[in-house]
């Protein structure tokens, strides 16, 4: 999953895809509504790629947290961000048992659940292993197609040679 182009803008709901850099703003597109808007330098824009969750030992990148949720939920949507605070804490403890309960607030967990569900709904949660598997399958399919084309070309050549005799 490539989180490089996905951003969250403080004060604006939803997630956005980076489109272009303007003179004093960036152009972004809401990933759900596909509406474009500007995010000015005065607004706090955070790439999801740069976000990490505090754990007892170190920080865990958001991508890794999303992968754990994805594996746990088998690619489907997860708990609603509107759930009760204790339910959210319990759920997050199951997903990331080592998270730092003092520095990770319920509001953070709500954002993680909301963002995950948004990305899941938009089918944007494709992780590297899955990408590699898809690329391998494409390569295998391309190799098979090439073999079939070669066989067809050889068969056609033989038929033409047989017609000349």
Segments forming the whole domain that contains residue 30: 6-47
Note the pTM of the prediction, 2 decimals: 0.74
Per-residue model confidence (pLDDT) at position 126: 80
Q: What is the distance between the alpha carbons of residues 7 and 16, in angstroms, rounded to a whole number?
A: 5
Per-residue model confidence (pLDDT) at position 151: 58
CB-based contacts of 154: which residues, under 8 Å, 6+ apart?
A: none
Q: What is the mean pLDDT of each run of 10 residues along the chain (165 residues)?
A: 85 92 92 93 92 93 93 88 94 93 94 93 75 54 60 58 56
What Å distances lie between residue 138 and 114, 144, 145, 151, CA to CA?
33, 10, 10, 20
Q: How many domains does the chain have?
A: 2
Per-residue model confidence (pLDDT) at position 7: 93
CB-based contacts of 23: which residues, under 8 Å, 6+ apart?
A: none
The DSSP call for residue 55 is: B
Residue 42 lies in a domain: yes
Do residue 34 and residue 56 come from a single domain?
no
Per-residue model confidence (pLDDT) at position 22: 85
């Amino acid at each position: 999953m490539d989180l490089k182009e996905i951003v969250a803008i403080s004060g604006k709901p939803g997630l956005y895809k980076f489109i272009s850099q303007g003179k004093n703003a960036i152009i972004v597109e809401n990933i759900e509504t596909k509406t474009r808007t500007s995010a000015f330098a005065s607004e706090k824009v955070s790439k999801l790629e740069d976000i990490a969750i505090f754990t007892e030992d170190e920080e865990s990148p958001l991508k890794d947290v999303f992968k754990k949720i994805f594996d746990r939920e088998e690619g489907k949507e997860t708990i609603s961000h509107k759930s009760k605070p204790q339910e959210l804490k319990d759920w997050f403890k199951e997903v990331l048992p080592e998270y730092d309960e003092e520095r990770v607030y319920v509001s953070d967990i709500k954002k993680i659940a909301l963002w995950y569900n948004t990305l899941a709904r938009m089918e944007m949660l494709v992780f590297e292993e899955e990408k590699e598997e898809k690329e391998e399958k494409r390569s295998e399919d391309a190799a098979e197609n090439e073999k079939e084309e070669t066989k067809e070309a050889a068969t056609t050549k033989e038929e033409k040679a047989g017609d000349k005799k």
